[in-house]
Structure 1
Amino acid sequence: MALIGIRAGLQRRALRLSPPSLLALTYLVFVAIGAGLLWLPVANTGEVYFLDALFTSMSAVTVTGLTVVDTGTDFTFFGQMVILLLMQLGGLGLITFAVFVLAALGVPLGLGQRLMLREDLNQSSFGDLLRLVRTVFAVALGCEAVGAALLALAFVPDLGWSEGVWASVFHSVSAFNNAGFSLWSDSLKRYATHPLVNVVVPLLFIIGGLGFVVLNDIWQKRRWRSMLLHTKIMLVGTAALILWGWVTFAALEWSNPDTLGGFGSWIDRLIVSGFQAVTPRTAGFNTIDTGAMRDSTALMTMTLMVIGAGSTSTAGGIKVTTFVVLILATVAFFRKRDELNCFGRSLGHDEVMKVLALSMVSMIIVFASIFLISTTHEGPFLRLVFEVCSAFGTVGLTMGATPELNTTGRIVIMIVMFLGRVGPLTLGFFLATHSVARVRYPPGRVFLG
């Protein structure tokens, strides 16, 4: 009876929490449990301290992929299983929380918040939210299974059945969830020009990063003209960013002997360039030495990492739709237009305000984190900025600075990973609250620019 009373009391307290608080608490619980499991003697080889386990757990739950220890050698098979489970929970948990919060958790939200949440998820009714949850799990598990089967064709001949199958499953789950964890210290450099790996892994990146709302819309509509505006923006924006990254990376690194210049064939260089154009979209795997990139290439990669991929996806960043709306708002301003138009649809003032708020908060997080780390670490400044952008975009690409950070620096990176993963949705909940001004003030003028 006492246990039932305690459980009921905890449930009442949980239901009184606001959705952002409950979301953050859920992820922190995942991180704490994961850190405890990874710190167990059965999970590691004895060289992993608690802060290392905590960092790894945070990186897995936020599907980032930054590491301070080697996943393949410092963790046992049990530890690697824990990391895989944390990646799955982190990649799908945020989305399922967003679409399942009303029905599964019973969080008491006002009518305005419910309508805004339903609108943001592009669903016509609350019953569609549950249907979308089923789509999330079906697509995720299906893609991961197919990806593991295809990767096994490349990994099993090199590693044998047991190690090859496990590597295929681990990397498929990591790729679909845009986590970037690898069992090998050089990530996928050994398969830099392997045709199958360079098709399967990027496809898992892209499908997981498009967002389940987009995938569900494509499956139901199947015609471009009837698709949602959100779907059209995501598909066109994703294709444009990948193409831009592919061409730019190839142009900047073509003659660099430490990256593309190390491959003799121009076809191999194009294959590697294509992979590196997709992986900054919060995926995190690499097939070249990221630390050897030129400064201009690192800046381009940081831009892609901060942009990220799609809403309601396994990816992070400010999201492609946010970036596209920013571009549209800029174009509309210079053309003296009052409305934002795209694919025969108009975007309202509320969407622009949300985008500006999210972008401003993201800028503050990134710049504040760079400042804090630069005051405690003496490494090359570009590498520190790169690590922060990678953490915020939950990417996992590194130029080698993260393992060298002191305790303060690692704590800052953990906080940035957490904010980069949980922050956009919590901000969305706050922005979903409509308030009507009780007092209206006379208009004023501010001189800008």
Structure 2
Amino acid sequence: MARINIHPLQAYRQARRTGQLQASPPAVLAGSFLILILVGTVLLSLPVAQRHPFGMFEALFTATSAVTVTGLMLIDPATDLSFFGQAVLLALVQIGGIGFVTFAIIATLTLGRRVSLKYQALALEAFNQTSVARIRQTALTVLKFSLVIEGAAILILTLWWWRHDSLEHAFLLAGFHAVSAFNNAGLSLFPGSLAGFAQDPVTTFVITGCVILGGLGFSVLADIQQKRSWTTLAYYTRLMLIGTLVLNLAGFALFWLIEARNPNTLGALPAAGQGLAAWTQVVAARTAGFASVDVDQLYDSSRFLLTGLMFIGGGSLSTASGIKLATFIVLLAVVRAYILQRKEVVLMHRTIAPETIHKALALMMVSGLLVCLGIFLVSLFEDMPFIAVVMEVMSAFSTTGISPDLTRVLSLPSQIVLMLLMFVGRLGPLTLVYSLGTQRRSRVRYPETVVQIG
């Protein structure tokens, strides 16, 4: 189905003339997330949601961070929010993570209503799908996997934490962290995030397992469930599994190697604890945001490594953000093809379509420009170490939430920049461009020319 994009000015004129607002699916998605953020802001501003009073801006920032599943905070959810406030925060994370459109489509299907053409276009945009027939299946798959994975994690963590806590409190903590992990939000109710569990293998593997499964993407999980054989898995599924394994293991080895000699992070832990903490931190850098060590004490090289992992992110149709792992792999294949002077870009014995290459390059360029703009603005407003600014901006854009204790001390203009980056990063840079522009096919063809590059 072709995308139909209407310029905001055109949409306004049509609304004045017809009384109906016409907008492109990306614009509707952006509007839906914006409305959800505003509703969350109002709820978090209520006295019943606050244990320690905070202002409207803090509520807006918190709601934006939750809906975009980022995790950057101006407040402490454990101490500043009441039980009601924490429940609101978790609901915003869940809806923002598995998708506002998913809930809406499932509600429509449950009521027995037929999904309209406009709603189908919106769903295709949200699910990154091309087949209308798969909308229902994809929506139900998203909900099913979310409930099963989060439910299993809650059960395991509740039983494990029950050893040192009451059953009720252990269950509440398990529910919050399981949902936060699977939705790649990285929000925690523990002091220092997951640093207190750096040497706890059960907590480590349950939390990181949720992060990885949420970041793979629902289409990958559905394909694995249906086929259960490597040879019959879809090409994209195999690409994501190999890419995730290689990236996580490479990042894990590098991070452990660098920080093993740092007495303020891994150096103070025994060998087994170092491995668990390094694994948690690297996996969390794939847009989850949990911290197993004091991020402010990391070496600059480790911060740079985590920043790169944040930029790459997870998979399409997942709870993760970033430019997406498949985009990164395609770009590597493009570079390889150019170096080897091959006309076709081949990846795992398949030729990559030119449209896919163009989209990957455009996404990389738009994302890079947005990150650079964010770094420039925050550096302009603040007198902070440059690597800390880079990490903070990348954390916001990739909706990761790993922060070197910078968010709360930034000025108001910088915090506004972070909010905008979180919003754009969750929607996707290309989706934002589509929502603001008009896509027209030109019938004019121009002569080719050669431009000197490099």
Residue 406 of structure 2 corresponds to residue 401 of structure 1: yes
Q: Any stretches of 5+ residues in structure 1 without a counterpart?
A: 1-8
Conserved 8 A contact 1:23-1:97: no
- What does residue range 56-205 of structure 1 map to in structure 2 within 5 Å? 56-93=62-99, 96=102, 106=116, 108=118, 120-121=128-129, 125-205=131-211
Shift in alpha-carbon separation, 1:77–1:116, aligned structure 2, 3 A: closer
Normalised to the residue count of structure 1, the TM-score between the two structures is 0.91
**What amino acid maps onto 1:334 in structure 2?**
I
User: Is 39-48 or 206-215 further displaced after alignment?
Assistant: 39-48
Residue 289 of structure 2 corresponds to residue 267 of structure 1: no
Residue 389 of structure 2 corresponds to residue 384 of structure 1: yes
CA distance in 2, matches of 1:78, 1:35: 13
CA shift for structure 1 position 386:
0.6
Shift in alpha-carbon separation, 1:368–1:14, aligned structure 2, 3 A: farther
Conserved 8 A contact 1:39-1:53: yes
Residue 293 of structure 2 corresponds to residue 293 of structure 1: no
Question: Residue in 1 aligned with 2:9?
Answer: none
CA distance in 1, matches of 2:433, 2:82: 38
Residue 231 of structure 2 corresponds to residue 221 of structure 1: no
Aligned residue for 1:108, secondary structure, equals helix
Question: What do residues 14-53 of structure 1 show as CA deviations (whole Å, max 9, x unaligned)?
Answer: 7611111111100000000001100100001243111111
CA shift for structure 1 position 82:
0.1
CA distance in 2, matches of 1:362, 1:428: 11
CA shift for structure 1 position 223:
2.1
Shift in alpha-carbon separation, 1:226–1:436, aligned structure 2, 3 A: farther
Shift in alpha-carbon separation, 1:228–1:256, aligned structure 2, 3 A: same
Question: What do residues 97-154 of structure 1 show as CA deviations (whole Å, max 9, x unaligned)?
Answer: 89889997635399xx799869953x6x422220111111010011111101111123
Shift in alpha-carbon separation, 1:229–1:120, aligned structure 2, 3 A: farther
Normalised to the residue count of structure 2, the TM-score between the two structures is 0.90
Question: Residue in 1 aligned with 2:447?
Answer: 442
Conserved 8 A contact 1:71-1:185: no
**What amino acid maps onto 2:453 in structure 1?**
L
**What amino acid maps onto 1:87 in structure 2?**
V
Conserved 8 A contact 2:65-2:72: yes
Shift in alpha-carbon separation, 1:115–1:312, aligned structure 2, 3 A: closer
Shift in alpha-carbon separation, 1:172–1:227, aligned structure 2, 3 A: same
Conserved 8 A contact 2:101-2:123: no
Conserved 8 A contact 1:95-1:313: no
CA shift for structure 1 position 330:
0.4
Aligned residue for 2:48, secondary structure, equals coil
Shift in alpha-carbon separation, 1:131–1:337, aligned structure 2, 3 A: same
Conserved 8 A contact 2:101-2:126: no
CA distance in 2, matches of 1:98, 1:345: 36
CA distance in 2, matches of 1:301, 1:416: 18
CA distance in 2, matches of 1:29, 1:430: 16
CA distance in 2, matches of 1:281, 1:222: 25
Question: Residue in 1 aligned with 2:375?
Answer: 370
Aligned residue for 2:448, secondary structure, equals coil
CA shift for structure 1 position 432:
12
Conserved 8 A contact 1:99-1:132: no
- What does residue range 323-338 of structure 1 map to in structure 2 within 5 Å? 323-338=328-343
CA shift for structure 1 position 220:
1.6
**What amino acid maps onto 2:60 in structure 1?**
L
**What amino acid maps onto 1:375 in structure 2?**
L
Aligned residue for 2:351, secondary structure, equals strand
Shift in alpha-carbon separation, 1:428–1:209, aligned structure 2, 3 A: farther
CA shift for structure 1 position 218:
1.2
User: Is 153-162 or 329-338 further displaced after alignment?
Assistant: 153-162
Aligned residue for 1:42, secondary structure, equals helix
- What does residue range 285-324 of structure 1 map to in structure 2 within 5 Å? 285-324=290-329
Question: What do residues 200-239 of structure 1 show as CA deviations (whole Å, max 9, x unaligned)?
Answer: 0000001000000111111122222222221111111111
Question: Residue in 1 aligned with 2:247?
Answer: 241
Conserved 8 A contact 2:285-2:400: yes
Shift in alpha-carbon separation, 1:421–1:297, aligned structure 2, 3 A: same
Shift in alpha-carbon separation, 1:32–1:432, aligned structure 2, 3 A: closer
Aligned residue for 1:317, secondary structure, equals coil
Shift in alpha-carbon separation, 1:57–1:117, aligned structure 2, 3 A: closer
Q: How many residues align?
A: 435
Shift in alpha-carbon separation, 1:95–1:337, aligned structure 2, 3 A: farther
Conserved 8 A contact 1:38-1:44: yes
* Sequence identity (%): 40
Question: Residue in 2 aligned with 1:348?
Answer: 353
**What amino acid maps onto 2:272 in structure 1?**
I
Shift in alpha-carbon separation, 1:331–1:435, aligned structure 2, 3 A: farther
Shift in alpha-carbon separation, 1:233–1:427, aligned structure 2, 3 A: farther
CA distance in 1, matches of 2:446, 2:366: 26
CA RMSD, Structure 1 to Structure 2 (Å) = 2.7
**What amino acid maps onto 1:280 in structure 2?**
A
Aligned residue for 1:196, secondary structure, equals helix
CA shift for structure 1 position 382:
1.3
Question: Residue in 1 aligned with 2:263?
Answer: 257
Question: What do residues 303-347 of structure 1 show as CA deviations (whole Å, max 9, x unaligned)?
Answer: 000100000000110000000000000001111112122223211
Counterpart among 364, 380, 394 of residue 359 in structure 1: 364
CA shift for structure 1 position 284:
0.7
**What amino acid maps onto 2:279 in structure 1?**
G
**What amino acid maps onto 1:401 in structure 2?**
L
**What amino acid maps onto 2:216 in structure 1?**
L
Conserved 8 A contact 2:127-2:317: no
CA distance in 1, matches of 2:124, 2:205: 38
**What amino acid maps onto 1:70 in structure 2?**
D
Conserved 8 A contact 2:321-2:425: yes
Aligned residue for 1:258, secondary structure, equals coil
Shift in alpha-carbon separation, 1:400–1:104, aligned structure 2, 3 A: farther
Conserved 8 A contact 1:66-1:402: yes
Shift in alpha-carbon separation, 1:225–1:431, aligned structure 2, 3 A: farther
CA distance in 1, matches of 2:90, 2:438: 36
Aligned residue for 1:287, secondary structure, equals coil
Conserved 8 A contact 2:313-2:398: yes
